[in-house]
Amino acid sequence: MSPQPRVEMRGIHKVYPDGTVALRGVDFRLQQGEIVGLLGENGAGKTTLMKILSGLLRPTRGEIMVDGSLAHFRNPSDALRVGIGMVHQAFNLVPPYTALQNIVLGQEGAGPLASFRTDEPRRRVAALLTETGLEIPLDDPVESMPIGVQQRVEILKTLYRGTSVLILDEPTSALAPVEVHDLSQFLKRLRAGGKSVVFITHKLKEVLELSDRVVVLRNGQVTGEIATVQATPEGLAEMMVGRKVVARVSRAARPPGAPVLVVRDLRAANDQGAPAVKGLSFEVRAGEVFGIAGVEGNGQSELVQALTGLRPPTGGEITLDGTRLLNLNPLELYRRGLGHIPEDKARFGLALNFDLAENSILSRQGERTFLGALGRLNWGRILAYARDLVERFKVLAPNVRTVVRSLSGGNQQRLLVGRELSKQPVVIVAVHPTRGLDIASTVYIRELLMQMRDDGKAVLLISADLDEVVELSDRIAVMYEGVLIGAAKTEEFTREEIGLMMGGITPKGSAYETPASAPAAD
């Protein structure tokens, strides 16, 4: 007979006020000293289930047992009192505060600053660093830290509150390979110390490497549970989707065309006025995907914003088909053939409180196709166009007048990608195009980008997902601290070499070691 579970959830149902059924009688257990991977498509109920376990949501029906006793969580503080804490995908840190201040904030029975003047919190945090093996600069503000270090701060903040059950939501979505390795080692140390871990992910490779057991949800129900040693990527994908899925996209060899997007000595500053893009030069050619890999926070956001008219460059030159683009606004850039799949769809891509039809024509609402008499919007044409877009790009929604905010993240992304690709751009700038998406949506969007490439379009792919960059790109450059530290054809790199360069280390004597401002290799 198996030992008593550290946590057991029985018959968990969750129905939201609008009638949406998120969970349909889910049973879930977690043993002491165990790492469980929680898999599922977007909208499968993974995060909802863990928000219930961490006290952020209340179940409509069902019960939670902790160490054999019935537990009722009114809020996250109740869950923390029995040792259950959750680290969310969007960090909850105060940017100007130091790591130490963020870790102890709200603890020690003091206000946000008083407890920082004592030595006791520092001693406790130092002991926690020794116990976990994590390293962070305690006195640096978190806003100056890479995303991987910020994640460590968030994890330490949760552990500082006495957590023995740690829930991580998409913990590797923005990490470099070396940081993923560090996180893996850390989780294994936690397990060895008797702590339990649940991590929500879409990445089959990581769940196979990190977990002891895998639980798969689909449509709010458990569709599979298996010991990791018995699991295969194909089997897990089928449990997630309900059918066989080919997890990789094929990239057929083809000669590229002439340069379409040409960037020379581009410079841009961040929001604080400090240099973020430091003299970048590269070309993206017709019929190719040029991938830029790198850990977030190394100037990629500022680069994309400078290319797409969202941030004024401080120097350099950008041309599209020989026409200079510097300092044009996003609408004018779209008219010249530049498409953009932004990293933050809520901020730059979609109007979440608008419906699907309204979002489907954003940036195109002034075109004659969608206008009627006296320049007014022709809603008959708009609705017909939106229905066609939804059908072609497989967006799951009740109808085209549904508010976009109510869609799953995967369907929001399909709508955004469909809208941008339907504009038939000459070049598409795609930033983290599949982040947080389930395997089916990921494959679908990658196939769309490959189709763009095969149709002779130029694709600039910027992603922190190394697998994505390697799978899709004909050529790869690595961005580190605002410069490109390497550029070559994809087959000339190894994953290990790219991973090292993402951490700022270029292998000595490598054939693709290039100056920061040099154009991409032919």
Q: Which token pair is 203?
A: 């990445």
Q: What is the mean pLDDT of residues 334-353?
A: 89
pLDDT at 435 over 80: no
Tokens 């891509």 correspond to 349
Residues 6+ apart with CB under 8 A from 364: 370, 423
Sign of the alpha-carbon dihedral angle for 331, 332, 334, 335: positive
Tokens 């893009």 correspond to 277
* pTM for the model: 0.70
Q: What is the mean pLDDT of residues 298-306?
A: 92
Residues 6+ apart with CB under 8 A from 300: 292, 294, 343, 431, 462, 479
Rounded alpha-carbon distances, angstroms, from residue 81 to 66, 162, 263, 483: 11, 8, 54, 46
pLDDT at 516 over 50: no
Instruction: Give, in degrees to the nearest 5, the angle at Cα 366 between 363 and 367.
Output: 95
pLDDT tens, residue by residue, 358-400: 999 998 888 888 988 888 999 999 999 999 999 988 888 889 9
Say what the pLDDT of residue 21 is: 87
> N- to C-terminal Cα distance for the chain?
63
**pLDDT category of residue 452 using cuts at 50, 70 and 90:** very high
DSSP output for 404-462: GGGS-HHHHHHHHHHHHHHT--SEEEEESTTTT--HHHHHHHHHHHHHHHHTT-EEEEE
> In order of start, what are the domains of the chain with their CATH numbers?
7-241 (3.40.50.300), 259-337+425-502 (3.40.50.300)
Q: What is the mean pLDDT of residues 178-192?
A: 82
List beta partners, residue 168.
Answer: 87, 199
Count of beta carbons in the 10 Å neighbourhood of residue 377: 14
**pLDDT category of residue 306 using cuts at 50, 70 and 90:** very high
What is the chain's mean pLDDT, rounded? 86
Sheet with 221-227: strands ordered across: 84-87, 165-169, 196-200, 35-40, 213-218, 221-227
Sign of the alpha-carbon dihedral angle for 290, 295, 297, 299: negative
pLDDT tens, residue by residue, 208-230: 888 999 999 988 999 999 999 99
What HEC string does 91-115 produce? CCCCCCCEHHHHHHCCCCCCCCCHH
Q: Which token pair is 72?
A: 């009722």
Rounded alpha-carbon distances, angstroms, from residue 238 to 36, 40, 118, 393, 440: 19, 10, 54, 22, 10
Count of beta carbons in the 10 Å neighbourhood of residue 58: 12
pLDDT tens, residue by residue, 80-114: 999 999 988 777 888 889 999 999 887 755 444 44
Sign of the alpha-carbon dihedral angle for 207, 210, 215, 220: negative
244 burial via Cβ count (<10 Å: 0-12, 13-18, 19+):
exposed
pLDDT tens, residue by residue, 458-503: 999 998 888 889 999 999 999 988 999 878 888 888 888 887 888 7
**What kind and span of H or E run contains 394?**
none
pLDDT tens, residue by residue, 237-281: 888 877 776 666 778 788 889 999 999 999 999 888 889 999 999
Count of beta carbons in the 10 Å neighbourhood of residue 225: 14
